[in-house]
Structure formats: C-alpha cells, structure tokens
C-alpha cells in the first residue's frame, strides 16, 4: 500500500475510533458500572425486572416489525409499478414517491396532527358536517405512530426494492412464464427471492429508524417505547437512577441494532446475488383498467404521504387557526418574524448541514472504496 493510501486508511480508522468506537465504549462503560465505577449487572437486572420497561421493549419491537410490514406492502407494489410498467405520469410519480422521506420527523408528525388530530381538519369536518359527536382518534396511540412512520419511510423501502429489481434479468421472468409460473406465483417464486439483498437492507433501515425514533411517539402521547424512555430518562437531570436507566436502555438499543445488523448480513450472504448486474428494463403497457387502478393507488398513497406538507403550510400561513377545517385568515407575518428575528438559526442550519454533507463525502467515499475494492480489515 502506498503512503497516501496508508494515511487515508489510518485516517478512516481514527475517525471511527473518535466518533463511533469511543462513544460506544463510554456508553457501555456507564451501563455496566455504578456511580463509583465498580462493575455491576444490577442496572440490567433493574431493567429486565421492571414491567414497564419490558412493555416498552415489546412495544418497540412490535412497532418496528409492523412498520417493516406496512412499508414493505407499499414499497414492493410501488417499486414494481414504477420499474416494470409504463403508464401516464410514471416519471412524476417516481419523483413524488421520494419526497416524503425528506420531511424531518418532527415536522411530519406535527403536520399530521394539524390535519388529523383531535382538533384537526378531518375531525372538524366530521363533527360539523357529518354529525360526529366527538373526535375520531386517528393519531393519538401506537396506531398513529405506525401511520406516520409508514408514510415517512415507505420511500426508503421503495428505493431499496427498485434497486434490487433493476438487477434482475427479465429473461428469468420469461423462463418462469414458459413453465407456467405467472402472476403472484412468479413473483413469490422468482422475483421476490432475487430482491432479497435489497429488501433486507431496506427492511433493516426502516426497522432501526422506527426503533430509534422518539420524536414521533412523544408528540402523539406515547412514551412506552424504548427510544422515548431513553430520551425522557436522560434529559430529566434530577433522578440519578432514571438517568442511569436511560443509559442502560440506550445500550440495549445499540446491542439490538447490532444483533439485527448481523442477522441481516448473514441472511443476505446466504442469498447473495452480487453477480447480478443492472439489466435494460422493457416496461409493459398497462391496460386501461390497470392504468386506472395504478393511478388511483399511487394518488391515494401520496395524498396521505403529503398530509404533513399541507398541515404545516396551512398552519404557517394561517392566522388564529382554531376549530375550523382550514384557516379563516392568512398572513405572512410569521415568515417576516422568522426572517427578521431568527436568520442566525437558518444560516446555522444551512452551514451545519453543508458541513455534515462534506464530512459524509470525505469519510464515506474512502470507506466505500476500501470495502468494495480491498481486503483490508
């Protein structure tokens, strides 16, 4: 290895040691020690003997699994439609499908609350025009978290499936059809198994993202999840025992994430189709009925996915919006106040975002090269 390559390789490991390995070591040190620094397992004993923490663990696992299922259904159908079929508006839908993933979690859940909360647009319409006596609980509960996470993360699954589908040689489909395998049978027997590496990667990202998200649950009033408990226990700064439990919960979440990553990596290695390369896609024409159903499906999904944007837009322009389906009066004064009073925050956000992108490129590109082109440890 040349001197430049050796220095770059050393720099990569130095970065990981400082910003990844050391924080993890510190986290586990605090989780396995007392306030005096003595080794102990009592912290974990307290966690696994506390019914509320165990409930939070089970809820987190169930929520992560349920989100993987719902995003898989949407992601697989949308990816298959966009990659294998040609229909009116396909390019536009390909772009719009990715947009919901850009929305920050806090902004997304607040937008849903504005539209579908107890005093949101939908409930106001139901009570004022359809005779409902009380608001429908669309958002406040684990089902609300599942709804927000699904509509926020299904683009991630879609991208993973699209990438995997693009590597499947269409001659395999033709061979399957020649022996009588069609429709869903062909999909389950041929297509889906070949997308396993991409699908597992997408499912893992969706699960870990949902598993670690504490913002969405707290906004809709759910705190019996591991991420929520870790956050609440750490930021309270009063009870030393609760602070320690926050550290322990964080350590358990890291261990579970590593475990899931190892399992996924082993499973993908068993079904490794790395020899597959991107093939030229010849999209089929949908029948008029098929095109209509595809458009209805995509429009419905994207309508729900864009609810946060509508909610945030209405609330940002609305003046005194309360107990009406949409704001009665509109104003630009809030934007004027932001531009005048908080330009520093906007500038800082742009600067830090730019620096983060630069660091990710500087570190990510060499790491990808080392992983793909060398056998270095």
Pairing of strands 318-319, 284-285: unpaired
CA distance 277 to 148: 35
**Shared-domain flag, residues 141 and 57:** yes
Does a structural domain hold residue 175?
A: yes
**Chain mean position to CA 60:** 14
Q: φ, ψ for residue 101 (rounded to 5)?
A: -70, -20
For residue 126, the surrounding DSSP H or E stretch is helix 121-129
The token pair at 289 is: 């009925």
Q: What's 101's DSSP letter?
A: G
Q: What is the CA radius of gyration of the chain?
A: 24
Rounded CA separation 109/124 (Å): 19
Domain identity same for 287 and 346: no
Counted domains in the chain: 2
Same domain for 210 and 142, yes or no, is yes
Does 79 share its domain with 202?
A: yes
CATH number, residue 103: 1.10.3720.10
Give the range of the structural domain holding residue 148, as residue numbers without chain letter.
47-321
Is 315 inside any structural domain? yes
Q: Virtual CA dihedral for 8, 9, 12, 18, nearest 10 degrees? A: -110
What is the pLDDT tens value at each position of the chain, 377 positions in all? 566 667 777 878 888 899 899 999 999 999 999 888 899 999 999 999 999 999 999 999 999 999 999 999 999 999 989 988 888 889 999 999 998 888 777 888 989 999 999 989 999 999 999 989 999 999 999 999 999 999 999 999 999 998 888 877 777 766 777 666 676 777 777 777 888 888 998 999 999 999 999 999 999 989 999 999 999 999 887 788 899 999 999 999 999 999 998 888 887 765 655 445 555 667 788 888 989 999 999 999 999 999 888 888 888 998 888 888 888 889 998 888 888 877 888 889 899 999 999 999 988 888 888 777 777 66
| Whether residue 267 sits in one domain with residue 158 | yes
Whether 232 is covered by a domain: the verdict is yes
Per the domain annotation, does 28 fall within a domain?
A: no
**Encoded tokens for 91:** 């390019």
pTM of the predicted structure, to 2 decimals: 0.89
Residues 317 and 336 in one domain: no
Q: Are residues 296 and 339 in the same domain?
A: no
Determine, yes or no, domain membership for 16: no
Tell me the HSE value of 104 on the side-chain side, using a 13 A CA sphere: 5
**Token pair belonging to 58:** 């089970």
- 340 lies in the same domain as 242: no
Q: Tell me whether residue 312 is in a domain.
A: yes
* Residue 83: C-alpha distances to residues 127, 141, 195, 270, 359 (Å): 42, 35, 13, 26, 33
Does the residue 167 lie in any domain?
A: yes
Exposure string for 166-187, b = 16+ CB within 10 A, e = fewer: bbbeeeebeebeeeebeeeebb
- In angstroms, the CA 246 to CA 34 distance is 14
Residues 230 and 365 in one domain: no
């Amino acid at each position: 290895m040349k001197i430049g390559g050796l220095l770059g390789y050393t720099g990569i490991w130095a970065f990981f040691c400082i910003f990844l390995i050391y924080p993890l070591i510190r986290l586990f040190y605090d989780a396995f020690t007392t306030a005096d620094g003595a080794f102990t397992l009592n912290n974990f004993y307290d966690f696994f003997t506390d019914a509320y923490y165990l409930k939070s663990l089970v809820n987190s696992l169930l929520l992560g699994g349920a989100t993987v299922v719902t995003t898989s259904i949407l992601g697989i159908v949308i990816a298959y439609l966009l990659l294998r079929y040609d229909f009116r508006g396909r390019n536009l839908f390909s772009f719009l499908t990715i947009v919901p993933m850009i929305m920050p979690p806090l902004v997304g859940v607040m937008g849903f609350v504005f539209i579908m909360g107890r005093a949101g647009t939908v409930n106001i319409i139901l009570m004022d025009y359809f005779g409902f006596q009380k608001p429908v609980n669309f958002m406040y509960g684990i089902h609300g978290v599942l709804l927000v996470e699904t509509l926020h993360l299904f683009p991630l699954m879609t991208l993973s499936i699209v990438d995997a589908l693009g590597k499947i040689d269409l001659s395999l489909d033709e061979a399957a059809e020649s022996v009588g395998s069609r429709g869903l049978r062909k999909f389950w027997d041929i297509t889906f198994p070949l997308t396993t590496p991409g699908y597992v990667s997408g499912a893992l990202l969706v699960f870990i993202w949902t598993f670690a998200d504490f913002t969405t649950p707290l906004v809709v009033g759910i705190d019996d999840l591991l991420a929520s408990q870790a956050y609440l226990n750490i930021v309270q700064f009063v009870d030393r025992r609760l602070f320690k439990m926050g550290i322990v919960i964080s350590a358990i979440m890291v261990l579970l994430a590593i475990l899931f990553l190892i399992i996924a990596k082993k499973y993908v290695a068993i079904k490794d189709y790395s020899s597959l390369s991107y093939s030229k896609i010849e999209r089929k024409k949908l029948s008029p009925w098929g095109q209509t159903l595809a458009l209805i499906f995509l429009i419905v999904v994207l309508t729900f996915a864009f609810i946060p944007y509508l909610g945030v837009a209405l609330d940002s322009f609305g003046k005194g919006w309360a107990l009406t389906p949409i704001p009665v009066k509109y104003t630009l004064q809030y934007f004027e106040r932001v531009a005048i009073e908080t330009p520093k925050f906007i500038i800082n956000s742009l600067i830090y975002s730019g620096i983060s992108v630069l660091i990710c490129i500087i570190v990510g590109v060499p790491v990808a090269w080392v992983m793909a082109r060398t056998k270095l440890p």
